[in-house]
Chains A and B, each alone.
Chain A
Amino acid sequence: MKKTVKKSVAKKETAKKTASKKVATKSKTSNKLLNIKINGVDYKAPAGSTILEACRVAGIEIPTLCYLKDLNEIAACRVCMVEVKNARSLVAACVYPINEGIEIFTNSKRVVESRKKTIELILSNHRMDCLSCVRSGNCELLALARANGVDDTKYQGAKTESKIDDSSAHLIRDNSKCVLCRRCIAACTKFQSVGVIGTNNRGFKTIVGSHFDVPLGDTSCVHCGQCINVCPVGALYEKTDADKILDAIRDPEKFVVVQTAPAVRATIAEEFGAPIGTNGEGKMVAALRRIGFDKVFDTDFAADLTIMEEGTELIERIKSKKAVLPMITSCSPGWIKFIENYYPDLLPHLSTCKSPQQMFGATLKTYYAEKVAKIDPKKIVSVSVMPCTAKKFEIHRNDQSAAGKGIPDLDYTMTTRELARMIKKLGIDWNSLPEEEFDSPMGTDTGAAVIFGTSGGVMEAALRTAAEILAGKKMKSLDYKEVRGMKGIKEASYTVKKGLTVKVAVASGTANARVLLDAIREGKADYHFIEIMCCPGGCINGGGQPQVSGHIRNTMDYRAKRAAVLYNQDKSMKLRKSHDNPDIKKLYKDYFGKPGSEKAHHALHTSYVKRNWT
């Protein structure tokens, strides 16, 4: 098979980047080295660096709070203030560019006292319920306060008035803890180009909120949770059904089944101190059994099922002359909400497939209840562990109850973070857990399903199956490396047989999705198939994943390390194509007939609604 990588629309993204780089040339990379002095020691640093970057290269850390590299470089929090010789006042290291001969002091008495006072002033308007706060343990403000020996009671006085906003399906905003770093706004605006939150009012009355202070649930928020991921404190956190899940487990009448998404295994170990890039699958399965779930299954099973359904839909669309192309994936509920809000005219491009989570729930309460466990689906409580907060919105969508009215495909969903909290709460010692395997049959998976958890993974999995079906023979290589990686937009074309070249594109982060969608609107996108994931980098960076502190975000590509977990697992597996999954074959034989059958359509497909944006 011939593989060629073409660049057309992807150029747009690159072009945009170049433009922004040009603007930033003064403050960004340059080959010229400048002589600088930090705390009395001579160094050389590239011209255009900020003080923060130059110090980092020299191995000197300057504490920051609001700063996130390439995302939020706005000098809002004033924690990174340093002294520059002959400068009138202290300067913000995160934005101040170095010049030849600059002398910087990062730990002078003046700097240390300023830093301490700044943190004390931030704390004076921060509701400190650290003992019960959800971020206790990984709060960036608490870490700063500790490292700088602050007095948390020094400044007592008025606090900015705010209300808790719990109007949205997935999160709670508690502005009494907000430090106005504006990271959430940057994530919402720049990663996702949604922008439903911003800073309202001015001065002491400033709060983060939506237009006319409408509750978040009434805006066109896509529930992606990226705002939660970047929040340094406990001002943003997911809504939880953890207690309801535990109650169901304690109820002997209920049969409680859990499924875990592919991306959860790539990150959960981080919550227990393991380095980023550790595969926690075996211990996670063991922990779920010890929590008391009756069956521990794998969303991977449904990912393989998705490929069968979506792949069939794609092949039908390619073969038909009238069908709408490009077809776009429908696995990511944040992405679905985005297109419904912002591009409702393009909804016919979406695959009608439910997401793997919902397909799993639908299959669980129909096929599994009827043919395998032989129990009343009403007794089954269907739970998922997801890297995602938008799933909390998705489970309540219409048309998500294949087994009948009042029997939802999913009863509850929790994030990776919530599962980690549950494990800790129940006294399960992660480190001493054995490695266990998923239950059968809905725990059987292939390598194709595992990589669903990262940007490009659904595309690669679909290509592995679709190419073989279209070509009518086995393919030599199963690796579609052009669609891998953390680039925002990826394009490739593959000649699967003589006369048929399949053109594909992959985007993650809805700001990147917009580029492809605008191209479709303008009639410039001649792809067959597009994969879109709502979160930048895909589910391994989902809004329900372990929070990565600003310090780590600024110094390494944690997303690539998490993705590598999934690609490594895929590489080590015997079965790497969805259509080779033996339990999927059995499922079709015993229940659904064939992909795209009427029965499959009823249970595994859905429709979408047009919404407005605000």
Chain B
Amino acid sequence: MSKSAIAFTGTKEQEKELKSFISAHKNDPGPLIMIMQEAQKIYGYLPVEVQEMISKGLNIPMEKVYEVATFYAQFNLVPRGKYHISVCLGTACYVKGSQKVLDALEQNLKIQSGECTADRKFSLDSCRCLGACGLAPVMKVNDEVFGKLTPDKVPQILSQFK
């Protein structure tokens, strides 16, 4: 994953909040993951600018932060959009063609799974089983579930949010 194309919009307040959290916890045993979680809570994701604050704050190499950020699925390197779309690629949805739905979303939004549109309106991801296999294939837009999807239905659903 390379540096996000989306401009960093962090505020002075956010920076202050993160830095005070780092100074309060930097001497705790193994503080890195906890600090990264807090940083993600503050900023929503961990762009290079935020990882650099953590690296300098803890006096550890940038790579140490990046290594952890790219290992754990809980950390995002790109921001979440106003509408976060998550397509289920679990077994039931997959055999019912959810990959084609994801492809259609990628085409329509002109982003890849795991990315965010430049206007930060939509972000796209996949997940494993939402527990709604009877409606397969399904996806979520924020907390709203859409079932029995086909690629044709994608533009119409997206237009509700545009």
Contact = CB atoms under 8 A, between A and B. Distances in A.
Interface of A: 189, 194-202, 210-213, 219, 613-614
Given A212-B1, A213-B1, A614-B61, 8 more contacts: A195-B61, A197-B63, A198-B61, A198-B63, A210-B63, A211-B65, A211-B66, A212-B2
B2 A211 contact: no
22 contacts: A194-B61, A195-B63, A195-B64, A198-B61, A198-B67, A199-B67, A200-B67, A200-B70, A201-B1, A201-B70, A202-B70, A202-B71, A210-B66, A211-B51, A211-B61, A211-B62, A211-B63, A211-B65, A212-B51, A212-B66, A219-B63, A613-B61
B61 A213 contact: no
Main secondary structure of the interface of A (DSSP, over half): loop
Contacts of B1: 201, 212-213
Among the interface residues A189, A195, A211, A219, which one has the most CB atoms of the partner chain B within 10 A?
A211
Contacts of A211: 48, 51, 61-63, 65-66
A212 B61 contact: no
Interface in B38-73: 48, 51, 55, 60-67, 70-71
Contacts, number: 50
Given A212-B2, A212-B48, A196 B71 contact: no
Contacts of A213: 1-2
Interface residues of B, number: 16
A234 to B, nearest CB: 23
Contacts of B65: 211
Contacts of B61: 189, 194-196, 198, 211, 613-614
B71 A212 contact: no
B16 interface: no
Contacts of B66: 198, 200, 210-212
A614 B71 contact: no
Interface of B: 1-3, 48, 51, 55, 60-67, 70-71
A195 B60 contact: yes
Among the interface residues B1, B51, B61, which one has the most CB atoms of the partner chain A within 10 A?
B61
Contacts of A194: 61
A105 B146 CA distance: 57
Contacts of B71: 199, 201-202
A213 B62 CA distance: 11
A98 to B, nearest CB: 29
Given A211-B51, A212-B48, A198 B2 contact: no
Contacts of B48: 211-212
A163 to B, nearest CB: 12
Nearest to B65: A211
A196 B2 contact: no
